[in-house]
Chain A
Amino acid sequence: MAPAPSIEDLLRRMAPEVLGAVVRRYGHFDLAEDAVQEALLTASRQWSPGAIPESPRGWLITVASRRLIDLLRADASRREREHAAAQWALVEQPVAPAELHVTGSDDTLILLFMCAHPALSLSSQIALTLRAVGGLTTAEIARAFLVPEATISRRITRAKQTVTASHVPFRVPPADERQERLKAVQHALYLIFNEGYVATSGQNLHRVELTAEAIRLTRLLHRLIQQDVEVAGLLALMLLTDARRAARAAPDGALIPMARQDRGLWDERLITEGVALVTEAMRRGPVGPYQLQAAIAALHDESRDLEGTDWPQIHALYEVLLELDENPVVRLNHAVALAMVDGPRAGLEALSELEADPRIAGDHRLHAVRGHLLEMAGEKAEARESYLTAAKQATSLAQQRYLNGQAALLVS
């Protein structure tokens, strides 16, 4: 059984609902967000397991609203000082009858869309999503990305100002923009997951688990729009990738490729959930890039060993993916699948086309795959050269040690 949610979990779950309620009532997205953060902080100091207000959400909305009013008054008196003639009054914005029926979930969805606002850079979208929807503090976000707190703080402040200045009404985007915006939301969540997954060294014990946070927010999004099959695909992809996490690195931080991972360490529960999600999504269709990547991850996760992997099926899925999303990393993976089906020579031939692509020609992954395929083909000396080139181009020590290790094994 899962342990009872902690106060921190409770607060983070409520963060977007409270912010939504306050913004809906008073507007002023940027100040409202500050006010909600302060209310959450107050709650985390004052609440204890036996002493949680009867309506935690109502308590938070009240405290945040009061705080917002203080902030608005301070803002107003500053303006008055600056412009003697400033006229300012704090008026509650009238609430349209239809909006009286909105729920916290609707607000959370609107916030997700707002945080993926097209005027914001990707890094701002990510920071704002983690704070406004994820309920993380600026310090936690800064630690997660290993950047100074001041950097994240400025990024969030500017992002909020941009959103406020854009005067987007606080509601779900109109139908014609919705699909584009939803893509941006998914992309931001995908990047949060990836950042957490790729970070191998984990220098900091306080590092908030970005993968877990990305999964939590994607689950939320999936719950809010069950009918979107790509959101389901994204969630499945995250679960099926995260399932392999424990097997992915040795105790010294060295990377272990899938071929050599101890499959007993893979998380069965995540695999079962991810497979069910992607199967159902693909049955409903239409198919999209996240579903295809999830389906590929599922085929890997479901096979007991490398040899038993359904490579023809994986190869076919990569073919479809290439049609939807022509990108060099997909081509690289496609070449590996091709090699597993038709032999290393076929894979190497596919790679040679990629070597002319400036988007990936200098990338260590291209040379690492080349080394691997040459090794499969029995070309030891050439494989060794490719591994050494890949090691030279890799920037992380863990990758370099892995690639140099592969080269060292090929001393004839």
Chain B
Amino acid sequence: MKYMILTHASQQDYDAMAGKPGDRSVWSADDFAAMVAFMRAFNSELAESGELVETRGLGAPAHARRIQPGEGAHVVTDGPYAESQEVLAGYWIVECESFDRATEIAARLSSCPGPAAVRARASADVRPIEEHVPDRET
């Protein structure tokens, strides 16, 4: 079975991680280095065990575009989110034997290092991926 692990963050969280000056909870170089090292180890262990299908981090919500149907033509909105709104920040797709195993993997993310204020609000969701693969010749 495949599961998707999702993490969320707001534009403010992104700014803090990008070291934007003036932000109260800016990540220091050490904070950042510890996080990168953790993620590297986490991802390579998952790749090693064969459970990682794919993982990506998403760009800041300020770069998002929203497309909606409008009168006659569709409407494109740049940066549709409020500064403090939490949106999808990154995901892992894992293929593993059970929901519990996927949960166990996601739970390890809770030991990702970071500033205390960030850790206090951090969470990860796990959701099963629907797999309707049409019959086909292999």
Contact = CB atoms under 8 A, between A and B. Distances in A.
Q: Indicate whether A and B interact.
A: yes
Interface of A: 143, 146-148, 201-206, 250-254, 388, 391-392, 395, 397, 400-401, 404-405, 407-408, 411
B40 A148 contact: no
A203 B40 contact: yes
Interface stretch (B51-59, B111-119, B122-130): B51-59
A408 B32 CA distance: 17
B44 A404 contact: no
B26 to A, nearest CB: 8
Contacts, number: 61
B33 A252 contact: yes
A204 B18 contact: no
B55 to A, nearest CB: 7
Contacts of A400: 18-20
Given A251-B33, A400-B18, 7 more contacts: A146-B54, A203-B39, A203-B40, A203-B55, A250-B29, A395-B60, A401-B32
Contact of A147 (B17, B47, B54): B54
Contacts of A146: 54, 56
Interface string B7-32: 00000000001111100000001101
B18 A397 contact: yes
A296 to B, nearest CB: 31
19 contacts: A146-B56, A148-B53, A201-B36, A203-B39, A203-B43, A203-B55, A204-B44, A250-B29, A252-B29, A252-B32, A252-B33, A388-B21, A395-B63, A397-B17, A397-B57, A404-B20, A404-B21, A407-B21, A408-B19
A252 B32 CA distance: 7
Contacts of B33: 251-253
Contacts of B21: 388, 404, 407-408, 411
The B interface, classified by DSSP as helix, strand, loop or mixed, is helix
B76 interface: no
B47 A391 contact: no
B82 interface: no
A204 B56 CA distance: 12
B59 A395 contact: yes
Nearest to A391: B18
Nearest to A387: B21
Nearest to B23: A404
Contacts of A404: 18-21
A255 to B, nearest CB: 12
Contacts of B53: 148
A206 B44 contact: yes
A205 B18 contact: no
B1 interface: no
Contact of A202 (B18, B40, B47, B59): B40
A204 B19 contact: no
The A interface, classified by DSSP as helix, strand, loop or mixed, is loop
Interface string B47-88: 100000111110110110000000000000000000000000
Given A146-B54, A404-B18, A204 B32 contact: no
B126 to A, nearest CB: 19
B36 A253 contact: yes
Contacts of B18: 391, 397, 400-401, 404
Contacts of B63: 395
Contact of B19 (A148, A205, A405): A405
A90 to B, nearest CB: 22
Nearest to A251: B33
Interface in B85-127: none
A205 B44 contact: yes
A4 to B, nearest CB: 27
Contact of A204 (B17, B20, B36, B47): B47
A275 to B, nearest CB: 34
B38 to A, nearest CB: 11
A84 to B, nearest CB: 20
Contacts of B44: 203-206
B117 to A, nearest CB: 18
Contacts of A147: 54
A393 B57 CA distance: 16
Nearest to B137: A78
Nearest to B39: A203
Chain A CB within 10 Å, residue with most, of B18, B40, B47, B57: B18
A334 to B, nearest CB: 28
Nearest to B28: A252
Contacts of A411: 21
A404 B60 CA distance: 15
A411 B21 CA distance: 9
A388 B62 CA distance: 14
Contacts of A201: 36, 40
What are the nearest 10 A-B pairs in CB distance? A252-B33, A400-B18, A408-B21, A404-B19, A205-B44, A401-B19, A203-B43, A395-B59, A404-B20, A253-B36
A253 B57 CA distance: 16
Contacts of B59: 395
Contacts of A388: 20-21
A17 B97 CA distance: 42
